[in-house]
Structure 1
Amino acid sequence: MMKKQSLLLLYTCILFAGCKKEEHTPVNAPGDKPDVIKNVSVTSLPGAARITYTLPDNKDVLYVKALYKIRNNETREIRSSYYNNFLITDGFGDTTEHTITLYAVTRGEAQSDAVTTVVKPLSPPVLLVARTLKIRADFGGVNIAFNNESKADIAIVALSNDSSGIYGTADVHYTNRESDSYSLRGYAAEKRKFGFYIRDRWGNQSDTLTVELTPLYEKLLDKTKFREVKLPGDVDYGWGLPISNIWNNALWHSADKLTGMPMWITFDLGVTAQLSRIGLWQRPNEWIYLQNNVRQFEIWGSTNPASDGSWGSWTKLIEHTVVKPSGLPVGQVNQADKDAAAAGEQMDVPLNAPKVRYIRVKILRTWTDGGYAANIQDMKFWGNDQ
């Protein structure tokens, strides 16, 4: 018994003698300061600059950091992974010189000594886009056209008097399109002042362009004057749902056209008008973006259509493709899709389009590819019939 106790005591002593405290080094310990980046060069860009460099040889360098000032002396920080040999400094709202301070930083957040360079950005997008603004009177408001060659994310801010006579923000239009035009509506045909300036996500903004314009007269055309017109080649209606349902918000449904698309229908607005915009609504509820709802179509106009149904007397006013906001497969919808369907397809008619009285809707595609039928829930027309 005493022998066993002695052996146990011996083993315990050996175990403790062989143990010592193990020191663990933090995984991301600061470590040694890395060397500086070298061979810095600068390429000026609109409102920005591309800075290239050579990384130090230190193996644990994780990224390069740039610190600099933009508007209102605000400090901006840009980081670029060690996989790259460049970074982009952006957010500049002018073309003056700016000092950039650069650091190499390790995984343990140890940073090198600073290296400075100077950048001189080209004219920023807010100034470039502002120079291209073209404002003209439009139906019920004004039309704004612009170019944005760099496809920068910008906002076009519109100013005007509100119903209380207070001059302030009337609309903000966000875009990154290379070029586009849009209309700001809801104004009487009375002379008024409008202002426009360009703003970016960093708060830089252009000077304000101020114009005085008189919006063109616009009204919603009276649907009680609309009449069906049946010309040779027009598709028949089906399921007891005639064309007149289009202006009664009651659903038009075509007959099956076994030869497939395109198919077209014709109707009379009852007045000759300079059209400004057209709204089209698809069959609602569980049918949105599905089956026979129109997906791609054209709208044509005429004042005196040929009785044989030929197209020579017609002018194309609009080409339009319905876009499903969610991008979900056919048969699946989300709330954004439901909201867009309820709002309808809102289409501007070009200002230089001729006056028309007769409308022809040419359907090129539905949500069932290769389908034989189509339907439209409702259509509305705005313009000047005076």
Structure 2
Amino acid sequence: MKKILISLSLLLMAVITLVSCGDGNRIDQKGEIAIPQEPTIVGIKSVPGGAVIKVAIPDDPNLKGVVATYQRNGATVESRISRYLDTLVVEGYADENEHDVVIRSFNANDDKSEGQTVKITPLVAPVKTAKFEAFESFGGIKIRITDNPTLAKLALVVQCDQTNPDQDLAYDQRKWKDVSTFFTESNSVVLTRRGLEAVPTVFAFHFRDDFGNVSETQLIKLTPKEEVALNKKLCKHYPVGTYPVDLKKLQPGADNFVNDTGGGGVDALFDGVYNGTGKFFLAAKGNPIPTWLTIDLGQEASISRIATKPRWDYMPFQSGNVREWEFWGTDVDPRQDLINNPANKDDADYQSRHGFSRGWFMIAKGEQYKPSGYAPDGTVDGWTSEDREYYLNSTEYECDNTNPLTPRAFDKIRYLRIVVVNTFESWQYKQTSGGWFIGEVSPYGQIY
């Protein structure tokens, strides 16, 4: 009897399996459904690289959505919308020719209505209208990408020639090596590639979009500038104005910080020790915000970037750790400049210059980067392991002479002024005074 029951069970399972495998009972199908009604074409608007097609969705319970089918770069592609939308986007063309697009409705079984063919004429594609400028920079090249108002996803592909840069050769006669591919969805952005030899080099540049379209290739000869780490053993504190500072008698344009003896003093910024056992610089509570101090680099240099490290693993993205920085430079003795060339309180830029004497100019400005980003209101809503790693070991501020705020970024300087615009605490609570701390400061550039 057991054998008979087992045999019947196996037979029943086999029948169920056969039925469930039948194509007519797929769970994504609904049996026989009528072909849906055709949508009505309401309007067509040409856009860069494609078109926007407006449709009216018929009141048909069998209709699940609308599909546009078209040929692009030799392949058949589709754009689909649900029955609750009315706009189809056709995209990915790199020409301005006329193209056919077939519009159909479809049901839950993907059965389609009769097609309606419309003609579209794309506007010039972003891959052809986007522009770039390439500049020589320290340790590499700097690239400004502009004219991408639709915020299209673009890649700028950069290659370098490994043959003689003085030879007058065409692209296909050169030996190319990939350098970088920069991805952007911005209308205007400046990007940097470092780690390149400081020798004359022919670079090739072209844009590529997500659809495999490419722009014409441009060849540009550039010579990256040599970049070295400045010898921090030559750096020293160079007080400007009365020192120690009397916070009740601040002198306009002079240093305005008070050292807290609980830290290692200004020299701790340049001791090269950053592993949790080294000293750090600590400014006393009650310092005005913004606040600054002056450093004699002990050498003349053009600064390319400044790497900073916080107090070792102490309250990341909080408290008196620096959130917003400025770096200023001058080749003139700032003590004499304060006497001979002071700022005038009536000057239009007096506040933005913090009242600094006229020999000073800004070389870099920035906010502590956080890979996972800040909250929409700018506050810190926690941090990831990647945030912490970047915060401790990778923070740096780049000097950029293409930035309208820092046109003299690469000018020769001897003195560096470190400006703490805001700590994380002062930013969050809108404080105008407070303590702050920094672990290490490391300038890079070209020494004269």
TM-score, with structure 2 as normaliser: 0.74
Q: Which residue of 1 aligns with 2:257?
A: 235
Specify which of 375, 387, 408 is matched with residue 337 of structure 1. Answer: 387
1:193 aligned partner, one-letter code = V
Aligned residue number for residue 3 of structure 1: none
SS of 1:133's equivalent in the other structure is strand
Name the residue aligned to 1:361. Answer: 418
1:139 — aligned with what? Answer: 138
Equivalent in the alignment of 1:254: 282
Gaps of 5+ in 2: 1-24, 164-173, 242-254, 274-278, 340-354
Pairing of 1:1-386 with structure 2 (within 5 A): 28-71=30-73, 73-129=74-130, 132-147=131-146, 148-161=148-161, 167-232=176-241, 233-238=255-260, 239-250=262-273, 251-258=279-286, 260-304=288-332, 305-307=334-336, 308=338, 311-312=356-357, 313-327=359-373, 330=380, 332-341=382-391, 342-350=393-401, 352-353=407-408, 354-369=411-426, 370=431, 372-386=434-448
Q: Check conservation: 1:67, 1:76, Cα contact below 8 A.
A: yes
CA contact (8 A) 2:37 2:63 kept: no
Q: Judging by fraction of residues, say which structure has more strand.
A: 1
What secondary structure, in the 3-state scheme, does the structure 2 residue paired with 1:285 have? Answer: coil
1:32 aligned partner, one-letter code: A
Rounded Cα–Cα distance in structure 2 between residues aligned with 1:166 and 1:286? 50
Residue 65 (structure 1) shift: 0.9
Contact 1:290–1:331 (Cα < 8 Å) also in 2? no
Deviation of the 1:170 alpha carbon: 0.6
Give the paired residue count: 359
State the 1:195 CA deviation.
Answer: 0.7
Query: Distance between the aligned counterparts of 2:294 and 2:317, measured in 1?
Result: 24
Q: Distance in 2 between matches of 1:286 and 1:254?
A: 13
After TM superposition, where is structure 1 displaced by more than 6 Å over at least 4 residues in a row?
none
Name the CA distance, whole Å, in 1 between partners of 2:98 and 2:390.
46
Q: State which drifts further: 289-298 or 243-252.
A: 243-252
Where 2:387 maps in the other structure, the secondary structure is: helix
| Whole-angstrom CA distance in 1 between matches of 2:109 and 2:291 | 68
Unaligned 5+ runs, structure 1: 1-23
Identity percentage of aligned residues: 25
How big is the shift at 1:288?
Answer: 2.4
Following superposition, the deviation at residue 294 of structure 1 comes to 0.5
Code of the residue aligned with 1:343 in structure 2: it is S
| Equivalent position of 1:16 in the other structure | none
Residue pair 2:308, 2:395 contacting (<8 A) in 1 also:
yes
Q: CA deviation at 1:162?
A: 6.7
Contact 1:137–1:143 (CA under 8 A) maintained in structure 2: yes
- What are the Cα deviations for residues 270-299 of structure 1, in whole angstroms up to 9, with x where unaligned? 122222222222233353222221101211
- Write the letter of the residue equivalent to 1:135: A
Cα distance in 1, alignment partners of residues 372 and 138 from structure 2:
31
Distance 1:364 1:355, change over 3 A: same
Q: Deviations over 1:125-182 (max 9, x none)?
A: 11111xx22122222222211212221111111101479x952211111111111222
Is the 2:257–2:288 contact (alpha carbons within 8 Å) kept by the matching residues of 1? no
Deviation at 1:103, TM superposition (A): 1.1
State the one-letter code of the partner of 2:64. Answer: L
The amino acid of 1:144's aligned partner reads I
State the distance in 2 between where 1:223 and 1:166 align.
40
3-state SS, counterpart of residue 390 of structure 2 = helix
Q: Residue 283 of structure 2 aligns to a residue in which SS? A: coil
CA separation of 1:331 and 1:66: change in aligned 2, threshold 3 A: closer
Conserved 8 A contact 2:41-2:53: no
3-state SS of paired residue (2:52): strand
Task: Look up the SS of the partner of 2:64 in the other structure.
Answer: strand
Compared CA separation, residues 259 and 275, structure 1 to 2 (3 A): closer
Moved more, 345-354 or 33-42: 345-354
- 1: CA distance between counterparts of 2:181 and 2:272? 32
Instruction: Give 1:236 shift.
Output: 2.6
Q: Give the distance between the partners of 1:231 and 1:211, measured in 2 at CA.
A: 45
Q: Which residue identity is paired with 1:365?
A: N
The CA deviation at 1:241 is 1.6
**C-alpha RMSD of matched pairs (Å):** 2.6
AA at the equivalent of 2:286 = L
Kindly indicate whether the alpha-carbon contact (under 8 Å) linking 1:278 and 1:349 is maintained by their aligned counterparts in 2.
Answer: no
The answer to whether the 8 Å contact 2:258/2:287 transfers is no
**Cα drift, residue 96 of structure 1:** 2.2
